[in-house]
Structure 1
């Protein structure tokens, strides 16, 4: 490791960030970090064999001489509640990174039962500050849709040029030379297919059939939104829609689920993956139900109902076009398809 990578804090020493208490990870935290990443970030959890292998790889890298830095928050039961893991790598020097050091924020994850307590912000902030003290000045990460506003606040910006490829070293080409197909193991093939972020929403109206929208506190590009959000690992679309509705409004949809629309968006400047979403019919709410909506102040600050035509002046044209298709599907009993949810200019 480059001699400029002298640690700014002793490993295992708590960092004073108020509540919650954040500390620099030790090699003993490697398994906990790997298990959090496996359970709540990866599309499919790792097997115990791969958890052991990843733990053995990460542990020595979490030493002062290693190239990994992580900050963690302990859960009450002694496990890890949250972590932010960064991997340092050398680059050619430039005025913006004179020491030739960059870091990739490899994993930021909080146990679902302990979210919405500021853990992610606390661990990522501690990690960035620590890496900067080690002369790292170039930072990279892949952000989920729900986490993007946090990273933007911390100074990250999107790049439309992001591309990715997995090229394995020991590819078996014998069947290709013989003129037949080459079959890769499922985990290898999975690395080659398109990556996509899923989301699910609920469409409500009042008793007059006017659509309900929530006003965002974090997105100026999409100020008015349907009730819903990003799918979590292991969830099905309807489960996501119900969970997000409970979190954002306090209402629990009873179903059965009726699909109103499927929404697709290609990758772009703000998000490196395609997005695919399901919008379900939530039915009509009474005035009393609308009045009783309890908003999450970290996400929305107003629930409003207006006739469809009056929404056009309050949202981007693509958002309004999507809302029109959803309302038409409600009216006809059919289902709509919308593929204009682009990220390129948002």
Structure 2
């Protein structure tokens, strides 16, 4: 992928209602994909001999037995309006991509006559879903331009344009319809912060001067902002044991391991909390609709819980808390733990 299509990709509309029809490519699309690459991706177009050679090489790879998968949008005249091509290859497994299957996003291109219609977003999204859900790919990589990088970050990629990566995992067997994947704090969903009506000064006076292993909720004075659930470790308690206890005490849920650390957050002293904190944020997996409905909040600490998309939390919590929430969500998507040492400065 190159900067040739970057301004278009970054400017595409997001509305699902405008999503164009996308289909899976077949070997007969090999030449059109090759010509799209030649015209709109490469810095110099291919010669006709190279077009024929690439077409002959790509066609068998687009079969079910091959290692290439592509999504395309057709123009009304039957020509190709947009395409996205990914190449599947094996990698050594890791915790973040246990299946050991990766895909390199090789081509994303839109014909100039069909730009600014959401086609690039549509073909890339469809291809990513197919690779993850059907081909069992868990690691995705690509390189792009600085201008196009925001589009891929919205789709879950992180890193620099020179190498952006993403990990995606299929839902575990038996996940109820409508269950939503979310990062967690202390085995509580990072996208279900709770409203905390406690008193920070009295809480601070009873807390040790150095608090380690905190997850990410502290009481706040009404009108209280939204926070992720959490609490302090008891004397002699391990961080994960504190997570299990706090989860049970504050929501009635039992956290199930094994522990997976998502983020380490260093909290700076400030007026309302005159000590440093070290928050450990763990992944609690996915919650079903039934689990969400069965949450039982501790009325002394929380008075409401909500499930919202990540973007909608920005207006409901302090900026520093949303920065933390966004970092935790990215850590869960990418499998790369976050480190934040500026929380509490603002």
Please tell me the TM-score bracket, short chain as reference.
0.3 to 0.5
